[in-house]
A and B are shown apart, each in its own frame.
Chain A
């Protein structure tokens, strides 16, 4: 039982490049989330998905797209990376709908640097 996994662990991009961060969970959770964490700050919600096929914006969605491919997988795409998107990205999942804000389980994070 791996929990929440993320790939890659580290990535360096040049401004304007695109990439997709992958997240998968094997706990049969309904909800999945993408957060970013900037140095010295708490997490900020980018997007979330309450169920397969549905996605909703969080606090800081600009510059990102997401896809809930199936119940297990939730990907985050940067179409044209900018230095302001340099951050650590965390994926999380929970059993219930986001409004319940029940226990969230986090992946190990992806450290992204945009030059």
Chain B
């Protein structure tokens, strides 16, 4: 089955630093999303990005579907960015599959 990998698994940043999170997937996918889970467990959708580049404030994401990866950029990080970042891919197969990656745990320290 399709494999979704995320790197790095853990990341500690000083407030104000920039970072790049990566999501690799092993097969062609129809869609991809990035999510943030805050330290209290709340899940928020960040980007719906099957291809191309999108930006939302300090966050931006790029998906290169032909090369099977997506990147999430966080600029000028803040402590509220802490939490786990997941990418999730959707592919059509014998049944609809939504596969989440294992996540990148980010800690932003003041």
Interface residues of A (CB under 8 A from B): 33, 40-45, 48, 56-59, 88, 90, 92, 98-106, 108-109
Q: Check A56 against B96 for contact (C-beta < 8 Å).
A: yes
For the complex, what is the distance from the CA of A105 to the CA of B43, rounded to whole Å?
Answer: 8
Looking at the assembled complex, report how far the CB atom of B96 sits from the nearest CB atom of chain A, in whole angstroms: 5
Which chain B positions have C-beta within 8 A of A108?
41-42
Looking at the assembled complex, report how far the CB atom of B5 sits from the nearest CB atom of chain A, in whole angstroms: 11
8 closest cross-chain pairs (CB), A and B: A42-B100, A101-B31, A101-B90, A106-B43, A45-B98, A43-B100, A103-B45, A42-B86
From B41, B96, B100, contact of A44 by CB (8 A)? B100
For the complex, what is the distance from the CA of A99 to the CA of B90, rounded to whole Å?
Answer: 8
Closest chain B residue to A44, Cβ basis = B100
In this complex, which of B4, B44, B98, B103 has the most chain A Cβ atoms within 10 angstroms of its Cβ? B98
Q: Does B48 contact A (CB under 8 A)?
A: yes
Which chain A positions have C-beta within 8 A of B45?
103-106
Looking at the assembled complex, report how far the CB atom of A111 sits from the nearest CB atom of chain B, in whole angstroms: 8
Which chain A positions have C-beta within 8 A of B86?
42-43
Q: Mark B2-16, 1 if CB is under 8 A from A, else 0.
A: 001000000000000
Closest chain A residue to B46, Cβ basis = A103
For the complex, what is the distance from the CA of A54 to the CA of B90, rounded to whole Å?
Answer: 20
Q: Check B48 against A109 for contact (C-beta < 8 Å).
A: no
Q: Does B33 contact A (CB under 8 A)?
A: yes
For the complex, what is the distance from the CA of A105 to the CA of B48, rounded to whole Å?
Answer: 12
For the complex, what is the distance from the CA of A104 to the CA of B96, rounded to whole Å?
Answer: 15
Which chain A positions have C-beta within 8 A of B44?
106
Q: Check B48 against A106 for contact (C-beta < 8 Å).
A: no
